[in-house]
Every structure is written in structure tokens, then in C-alpha cells.
Structure 1
């Protein structure tokens, strides 16, 4: 029998990945909020991998508690994820996935574009999602991973934050087609912050092209959700830390949050 796979956080995304793991023949061990990870690690000492599907706000508290024997087996897929998140916990051999499929309660998954993955367990992730016809693209190096994580963050933050200025339910296609100046200004300021977070400049035009590719992958996707205000607030916090002016983001923040 194949090795078990531990899944921490049992939400919609966990259900998709678990289906893929099970189809490959891996037993899936769930870890919920009410379970002691240390106890589970005592019983599952050598899993194939440990997938964290908790939300962005819960990522760091969970990483602080990861049992030592699991630290070299982690797979992360959170939105707004960057290397600084796992490096802050002294983690090195992490697998990261920029997830480009959506899963909502009561609906099956919807793929926008292939999901890039990099790290020791990327091949397992690719094989598992392939059983569900969800495309995954294995990356060659960490530089490519940084680009793809920033690209995903650019899409999420731009559509969420710019969408706060528009009517509820506005699609990402409408944002980009009819409100290009708004979207462009937000995207530029988001990238200014992202480049500070990864401590390097990336190809701005290529990132914008990648964002547009995702928009075209699901043009009817709504811009904003309940997480938009929190995403904007975090962006402003980062901007303040780095001394970035980000006037458009601050204007939207003042109008909708302050």
C-alpha cells in the first residue's frame, strides 16, 4: 500500500486534492482544528506529504505548530503565498502550488489555467490532480516559482481591490475591458509591493500578461469576495512597512474601509 498523505484543513480545496490522492491509492489522513497535530504525527511518522489547505490567516499559526518529522514534507497552496512565509519558520524543502482552479461549496471545480508547482512533492501533486483532469505544470526552479506566486497574487489582489470600486458581481472581464485604467493603476501598485516582498524586480509586462491569461480563463469570475477588504488592508500594511506611497490603494482603502 502507498504511503499516507496528511491533509491539514478540511475545506473545499482539501476535498479536491484528497480525491486525487485517493485515486492514486494513497490513504488520506485528515487533521481538523480540533485535532492535536502532535498526536497524529506520532501515529503517522512518515507520510508521503503533508498538505496545508488552511486559509491565509491561519497559515503562520499552523506552521508554528508543525511537528518536526513533518517539516520536510510540506505542500503549501495558500493565496498571497510567497517564499518569505515559509522561510520565516526556517522551512526549506517546501513544495508550493499556485492553484488556478476554483472550488465553491455545492459546485465542482473550475480550471482557469494550469497550476504551476515546484518542490520535492510537485510530481505527486501533478499525478493526483491529473486523475481529475486538472492540469499542473511542474516548474524547473525557484525563480520560476517566485514569478508564478507573484502572478497569482497580482490577479487576486488586483481583481479583489479594484472590484471594490465597482458594482457587486462585476466580472473580471468587465473590470479589465471597461475599467482598464483602474485595474492598471491597482496592478502597478500591487506589483510595487510584491517586488518589495520578494526583494527583487520581476518582469512587469510578463506578469500583467499572465494576469490577463487568467482573466481570459474565466472571464465571468466575480472580482470581489468577502476577503477583499482584508486583502486591501494587508496590502496597505505592507506598503507602510516598505514606505511605498500606493496612492490608488490608499484612496480605495479610505473610501471603503477607513
Structure 2
């Protein structure tokens, strides 16, 4: 039998990964909120992978509590993820996936584009994804991972924040509200550059966002976390000293 997979976070994405790991021949041990991580690590000190599938708001508390035996085996997959999120916990080489598939209750998995994966356990993860029919790509280096994380952040933040104003789906956003989309996307990239200390090829990232739009034209813009994402983006802009006038206008209109 293959080594077990630890699953922290048993939501829709966690469930997809659990099925993939099981089909790839790995037993899966779920960890609920009521379970003590240190005690569980004593029972399973050397799992093949520790999948951290909690939401972005719960990520840092989980990483704070992550037992030493599991720290070099973790997989991160949250939205709005950037290297600073794991570096602040002294995690130097986690496996990271930019998730480009969606799973909602009562619905099948919907893939938008292939999900990029990077890190020491990338091949194990890609095997599990392939076992449930989800396409993935292996990234060559940490720079490629950073670009992919920024691409996903650009997509998530731009669509959610525009969605607060205009609703609808990404096809309508690109067709009918192009000036708003362009302005929000530009300010989101300002924020990503401030958060990473890096400069990015903006035309290439914008083009890659539109490729993702084509992968699922009916994808709804305004997710249930849109207001929280806008509030978080404005707080980050304040700390970085960024003007972001379009985001501030959206905040004045949609935040209370």
C-alpha cells in the first residue's frame, strides 16, 4: 500500500483531491477542526503528502499549528496565495497548486484551464488529479510558479471586484465592461507587484486572464467572497501606499 495522504480541510476541493488520491492508491486520513494536529502527526509522522485545503482565511492558523514532521510535505492551494504566505511560517519549499477547476455542491468538477503545480510532491499530486480527469501542468521553477499565482490572483480579484459593480459572467464583463475590467486589472497588478516586490509582464498576464475567460465564459463574476476580497485589497493598498482609485471607488460604493 502507498503511504497515506493527510487532508486538512474537507470541503469541495478537498473532496476532489481525496478521490484522486484514493484512485491513485493512497489511503486518505481526513483532519477535522476538532482534531489535534500534533497528536495526529504522532500517529502518521511520514505521510506522502499533507493537503491543506482550508480557505484562505484559515490558512495561517493551520500553518502556525502544523507539526514539524508534516512541514516538508505540505500542499498549498488557496486563492490569493503568494510566496510571502508560506515564507512567514519558514516553509521554504512547499508543493503549490494554482487551482483552475471548480467544484460546487451537487455539481461535477468544472475545469477552466489546466492547473499548474510546482514543488517536491508535484508528480504525486498530478497523478492524483489525472486519476479524476483533471488536467495539470508541471512548472519548471519558482519564478514560473510566482507568475502563475499572480495570474490566478489577477483573475480572481478582477472578476470578483468588477462583479460587485456589474454582476454577470466573465464573457459579458470582457465584452460589455472592458474599461472597468482594464482599470481594475491594472490596479490589481499594481497591488501584486507591491506584495511581491517584483515587476511583471502586464500584457502577457492580461492575455492569460482572457484565455481563462474563454475556458469558462459563463463563470460568474461575483463570488460570495467578493466584498471581503475588496476590503482586503484596499487594506493591502493602504499598507503599500498605493492610490488604486478605481478600487477605492468600488469600496465607497459596495463596502459598509
User: What is the CA–CA distance in structure 2 between the aligned matches of 1:240 and 1:117, rounded to whole Å?
Assistant: 32
Cα deviation per residue 1:132-179 (whole Å; 9 max; x = unaligned)? 111010000000000000000000000000111114xx0011001110
Paired residue total: 256
Compute the displacement of 1:108 (Å).
Answer: 1.1
Cα displacement string for residues 172-191 of structure 1 (whole angstroms, at most 9, x for unaligned residues): 11001110000000000000
The answer to whether residue 6 in structure 2 is matched with residue 6 in structure 1 is yes
**Helix, strand or coil for the counterpart of 2:173?**
helix
The corresponding residue for 1:161 is 161
Poorly superposed stretches of 4+, deviation over 2 Å:
none
> 2 CA distance for matches of 1:5 and 1:131?
15
Q: Which runs of structure 2 are paired with 1:140-155 in the superposition (5 Å)?
A: 140-155=140-155
2:108 match: 108
Which among 200, 205, 215 is matched to residue 202 of structure 1? 200
Name 2:178's counterpart in structure 1.
180
Give the deviation of 1:96 after TM superposition.
Answer: 0.5
Residue of structure 2 in register with 1:77 after alignment: 77
Q: Matches of 2:37 and 2:135 in 1, distance apart?
A: 31
Q: Within 1, Cα distance between the matches of 2:218 and 2:25?
A: 36
Identify the residue that residue 223 of structure 2 maps to in structure 1.
225
Shift of residue 131 of structure 1?
1.1
Task: Please give the residue correspondences for 1:1-258 in structure 2 after superposition, counting only pairs within 5 Å.
Answer: 1-167=1-167, 170-258=168-256
**d(CA) in 2 for partners of 1:174 and 1:229?**
20
Flag structure 2 segments of 5+ consecutive residues without an equivalent.
none
- Matched residues in 2 for 1:209 and 1:6: separation? 37
RMSD, aligned α-carbons: 0.6
Normalising by structure 1, report the TM-score: 0.98
Structure 1 CA distance for aligned equivalents of residues 27 and 12 of structure 2: 18
Shift of 1:39: 1.1
Q: 1:110, CA displacement in angstroms?
A: 0.2
CA distance in 1, matches of 2:24, 2:163: 39
Structure 1: give runs of 5+ residues left out of the alignment: none
Q: Aligned with 2:166: secondary structure?
A: coil
Deviation of 1:3 after TM superposition, in Å, equals 0.1
Contact 1:73 1:93 (8 Å CA) reproduced: no
Q: Distance in 2 between matches of 1:52 and 1:148?
A: 19
